[in-house]
A and B are shown apart, each in its own frame.
Chain A
Amino acid sequence: KAGVTQTPRYLIKTRGQQVTLSCSPISGHRSVSWYQQTPGQGLQFLFEYFSETQRNKGNFPGRFSGRQFSNSRSEMNVSTLELGDSALYLCASSLDYGSTDTQYFGPGTRLTVL
């Protein structure tokens, strides 16, 4: 069974641009969560999607948004990029929403903002 896949793996953007990251969950998984990982702030929760609806949201500005498609694939978008948005963005999938199933993480997308 394939794991969580994230594309692209690496991305370089300049300040002010916007970026879209993609996540394909494990087959059969319907819940997708996104996290930002930086050396200074560690791993921080961005949002969780289930059944094409955002179910939980972390403490990030509105420049960070996401969506989920009917096949459970998810995308997150960051608009008006700032230098501080440079980070590893991780996607995690689990079988269901509100369940105790394991969250499986993908390898992440490394975003560098110049």
Chain B
Amino acid sequence: GENVEQHPSTLSVQEGDSAVIKCTYSDSASNYFPWYKQELGKGPQLIIDIRSNVGEKKDQRIAVTLNKTAKHFSLHITETQPEDSAVYFCAASEGGTSYGKLTFGQGTILTVHP
């Protein structure tokens, strides 16, 4: 089955700096890669996703890049703010009838210091 590795496990940055979280996956059939943000006491919330026919996607301060050949994808957050502090998870799925079956990375605890 699919295996997703996520690094780093913790990331501490100063407000205004950029943050980068990287994930690798094992199943070449995976073609859907969402990123979720989880705050304390809440369920994960989708912040951005990318599909295998796209190499990069951007939404304001957040961007995701995908390298299918190397089987890795990354989350980039620019101009970080204290409210960006949370746990971030990457995930992968084969798509098709398996879109509802996500394999998650272990998570990255992001702390943004004011």
Contacts and interface: CB of A to CB of B under 8 A. Distances in A.
Interface residues of A, number: 29
Contact of B100 (A90, A94, A105): A94
Q: How extensive is the interface on chain B, given as a class?
A: 20 to 34
B104 A33 contact: no
A59 interface: yes
Interface in A50-90: 50, 55-56, 58-59, 90
Interface in B1-55: 1, 32, 34, 36, 41-46, 49, 51
For the residues of A in contact with B, the DSSP-based class is: strand
Contacts of B104: 35, 42-44
B99 A108 contact: no
Contacts of A106: 43
Interface string A2-31: 001000000000000000000000000001
A51 B87 CA distance: 32
B32 A105 contact: no
A100 B1 contact: no
A6 B105 CA distance: 24
Nearest to A4: B43
B97 A100 contact: no
A100 B51 contact: yes
A103 interface: yes
Given A43-B104, A99-B99, 9 more contacts: A33-B100, A42-B105, A45-B103, A48-B101, A55-B97, A100-B51, A106-B43, A107-B42, A107-B43
Interface of A: 4, 31, 33, 35, 42-45, 48, 50, 55-56, 58-59, 90, 92, 94, 97-108
Smallest CB-CB A-B distances: 4 pairs? A105-B43, A43-B104, A48-B100, A56-B101
16 contacts: A4-B43, A33-B101, A33-B102, A42-B89, A42-B105, A42-B106, A43-B44, A43-B91, A43-B102, A45-B101, A59-B1, A97-B100, A98-B98, A102-B34, A103-B102, A107-B41
